[in-house]
Structure 1
Amino acid sequence: MRVPKFPEYTRENYPAHGRLFGDFLCGLWATASEVLEVPVEQSVRTAQLLRALLPPWAHEPIGTAPAEPSYVADDGFPAEMSVNWSGRHPELRVLFDSLGHDVHLPAESGSRRLDRVHETFTPRGGRPSPAPLWHSIAWRPPSRIVHKTYFGLYPWPHAQREAAVAEAMARLGMAAAWDDTRRRVESVDGDREIEFFAVDLADEAQARVKIYYRNHGADLDQVNRVAAVALRHDAEDARAAYAILAGDREDAGEAALSCLAFRSGLDRAAESTTYLRLPDLAANDEQAVERTAALLHREGVDPGRFRLLTAALAPRPLAETRVLELVSYRTAGRRGDVTTYFRFPVYDRPLAPVDLA
């Protein structure tokens, strides 16, 4: 099983030492809102919602090393920010690790799906330990905020992960779709493991259940074949998008992720998203931004705001930073379905990748 082993940390990389976690994250939210030209009153209101949702660790100061390292980022920081660029208005998101604390969701968040599966991922459901719980808010102005919950399966043996996913999908009435998808994924060559199970906390017909695979040593064609398991996937279009991000490499880089999304009423995965890790595929943020901007331009999205946002979030010139961690691409019938994921190296990180046993 894969359990994160975190190194010793000696200094901060991002100017955050001494600030409260909540202030730091809400400040990033405000910065992103300003770059994305969100009206001030909407930015303030949604930042207040984010602050109210954050776990108790949000009230603690950021130290020189993580008191309780999170699996969200290599340095143990418990949160990331992302932006989806499809549609007229970009969608702004923050994902955070609950670190064992309860997250008090609004009553209108549509958490009944979560209630149906939550026990499956705990010792009461036969699991060896409670699954680490992550939560995110996603907001596309001027719509309401959407909540999502992620169960981290990475601490468990593979058999436990598979059993938990099968039981959760059965509880949600999606057992047949999962059986079909699992067989299709297993027919694709390569080494991969289930790492997360996620639920959109909404009662609408479009709400999704998502299962994430981490790929090991995969090439671009392999991750494309995994993505093609979904009902809606344009393999030729996706392959061209991956090539833009990967540059002259044919491999998918370190630990590429494949997400298969399920919707009620379908007997197989509805959509797929592939996540490529840019710090492995590009020399620095400057090169990663150029490749991502080229992909956005191909998708009909003006990359200007993306460039401004990355520069605003980076602590130093882009040639010296690696805050753009992941870029994902989905072919689900709408242009510009590209999401950029930003992580903030608050703590010193090792020169070599973090060792995972």
Structure 2
Amino acid sequence: MRATRLLRAVLPPWAHERIGAAPAEPSYVADDGFPAEMSVNWSGRHPELRVLFDNLGHDVVSPADNGFTTRRSDRVRETFTPRGGRPSPAPVWHSIAWRPPSAIVHKTYYGLYPWPHAHREAAVAEAMARLDMAEAWDDTRRRVEAVEGEREIEFFAVDLADEAEARVKIYYRNHGADLAEVDRIAAVTLRHDAEGARAAYRTLAGERADAGEAALSCLAFRSGLARAAEATTYLRLPDLTSSDQEAVERTAALLHREGVDPGRFRLLTAALAPGPLTESRILELVSYRAAGRRGDVTTYFRFPVYHRALSPVDLG
């Protein structure tokens, strides 16, 4: 299949190694150390398939070899290395997203989680300055810091394209946040549908008012704008539900409310689950982008490859 060939062309060398009983090099992508996840965005006429993977220190095929421009990435890459003053090289993740019949979109993620907070903030500020987005970042950062709560910057990501719609994204991990707090974070952006966002969060969280364990807030920046353009909020379903069965029902309800037929989502989850949905945990995250585009829901699947979850010590 063409999709399979395209995927193999960009995977790092570890993709050809046999999977053993334990990860040779544990990754932060999944709790058990497996270095990849799959997700699907359900907006638009055709769903968008995404595969994200940890490079584990390997180089991947340059998107430029496939006709993509990478000037934006080249301007910030050194910022996330010891040459840029960082204590260690940032872990690098890569993502490909494909919504047929459109072309594949490549994305690079720099993991800032191994570093002290001061280094994370310095690296983000420098990278945003190199991308001529310092003003937008300063304004957005001040707005985020005005929201009461505890959170930390965890990732910096760039779309590997130079088109006007290409994004730079900064991810916050929230600690002990409730649904109102993650909504206030999302509301610092230029485009935010507060009513739609609150309804989405309530649908996913059920009776709970909190946002669950380590909810994520992603702020997306676009060239020429004075602050972050839009936000995506990620809720961790294993903490908010009792099983994949309940997680699927809540996600299906959200898709239906957003005008998306949840049938394909149900079929996909059932096909990926290793057993009955009442006993499985593969639907890890569900995200909602409240920027005025209906159905902008993404479901993230992580597979039970290894027998045990890794502790933070295992992940380094």
TM-score range (shorter-chain normalised) is over 0.9
The answer to whether the aligner puts 1:97 opposite 2:54 as a matched pair is: yes
CA distance in 2 between partners of 1:106 and 1:162 (Å):
28
Taking a change above 3 Å as real, the CA distance of residues 56 and 355 of structure 1, as seen in their structure-2 partners, is closer
The answer to whether the aligner puts 1:59 opposite 2:16 as a matched pair is: yes
* Aligned-residue offset at 1:103: 1.1
The residue aligned with 1:196 is 155
CA distance in 1 between partners of 2:63 and 2:182 (Å):
36
What is the CA deviation profile of residues 156-179 of structure 1, one whole-angstrom value per residue up to 9, with x for unaligned ones?
000000000000000000000000
What is the CA deviation profile of residues 22-79 of structure 1, one whole-angstrom value per residue up to 9, with x for unaligned ones?
xxxxxxxxxxxxxxxxxxxxxx112111111111101110000000000000000000
The residue aligned with 2:36 is 79
Root-mean-square deviation (CA, aligned residues, Å) is 1.0
The residue aligned with 1:184 is 143
The residue aligned with 1:130 is 89
The answer to whether the aligner puts 1:280 opposite 2:222 as a matched pair is: no
CA distance in 2 between partners of 1:354 and 1:89 (Å):
38
What is the CA deviation profile of residues 165-205 of structure 1, one whole-angstrom value per residue up to 9, with x for unaligned ones?
00000000000000000000000011000000000011110
The structure with higher relative contact order (CA 8 Å, sep 6+) is 1
Residues 186-335 of structure 1: matches in 2 within 5 Å?
Answer: 186-335=145-294
* Aligned-residue offset at 1:105: 1.8
Q: SS of 1:166's equivalent?
A: helix
Unmatched runs of 5 consecutive residues or more in structure 1: 1-43
The answer to whether the aligner puts 1:173 opposite 2:148 as a matched pair is: no
CA distance in 2 between partners of 1:100 and 1:241 (Å):
37
Q: SS of 1:51's equivalent?
A: helix
CA distance in 2 between partners of 1:51 and 1:280 (Å):
33
* Aligned-residue offset at 1:348: 1.4
Alignment-mate amino acid for residue 296 of structure 2: D
The answer to whether the aligner puts 1:348 opposite 2:307 as a matched pair is: yes
CA distance in 1 between partners of 2:62 and 2:296 (Å):
27
* Aligned-residue offset at 1:355: 4.3
CA distance in 2 between partners of 1:135 and 1:355 (Å):
22
* Aligned-residue offset at 1:334: 1.1
Q: SS of 2:278's equivalent?
A: helix
* Aligned-residue offset at 1:354: 3.6
Q: SS of 2:267's equivalent?
A: helix
CA distance in 1 between partners of 2:263 and 2:71 (Å):
39
Alignment-mate amino acid for residue 196 of structure 1: F
> Identity rate of aligned residues, in percent?
82
Residue in structure 2 matching 1:70, options 16, 23, 27: 27
Q: SS of 1:259's equivalent?
A: strand
CA distance in 2 between partners of 1:118 and 1:224 (Å):
31
CA distance in 2 between partners of 1:355 and 1:103 (Å):
26
Residue in structure 2 matching 1:339, options 280, 285, 298: 298
Alignment-mate amino acid for residue 10 of structure 2: L
Q: SS of 1:115's equivalent?
A: helix
Taking a change above 3 Å as real, the CA distance of residues 138 and 69 of structure 1, as seen in their structure-2 partners, is same
State whether residues 63 and 160 of structure 2, in contact with CA within 8 Å, keep that contact through their aligned partners in structure 1. no
Runs of 4+ in 1 over 6 A off after TM superposition: none
CA distance in 2 between partners of 1:91 and 1:266 (Å):
26
* Aligned-residue offset at 1:349: 2.3
State whether residues 63 and 106 of structure 2, in contact with CA within 8 Å, keep that contact through their aligned partners in structure 1. no
The residue aligned with 1:39 is none
Residue in structure 1 matching 2:77, options 105, 110, 118: 118
The answer to whether the aligner puts 1:149 opposite 2:108 as a matched pair is: yes
* Aligned-residue offset at 1:345: 1.1
Q: SS of 1:327's equivalent?
A: strand
Count of aligned residue pairs for this structure pair: 312
What is the CA deviation profile of residues 233-283 of structure 1, one whole-angstrom value per residue up to 9, with x for unaligned ones?
011210110000001000000000000000000010000000000000000
Residue in structure 1 matching 2:98, options 130, 139, 147: 139
State whether residues 54 and 92 of structure 2, in contact with CA within 8 Å, keep that contact through their aligned partners in structure 1. yes
* Aligned-residue offset at 1:332: 1.4
CA distance in 2 between partners of 1:70 and 1:76 (Å):
4
CA distance in 1 between partners of 2:70 and 2:36 (Å):
21
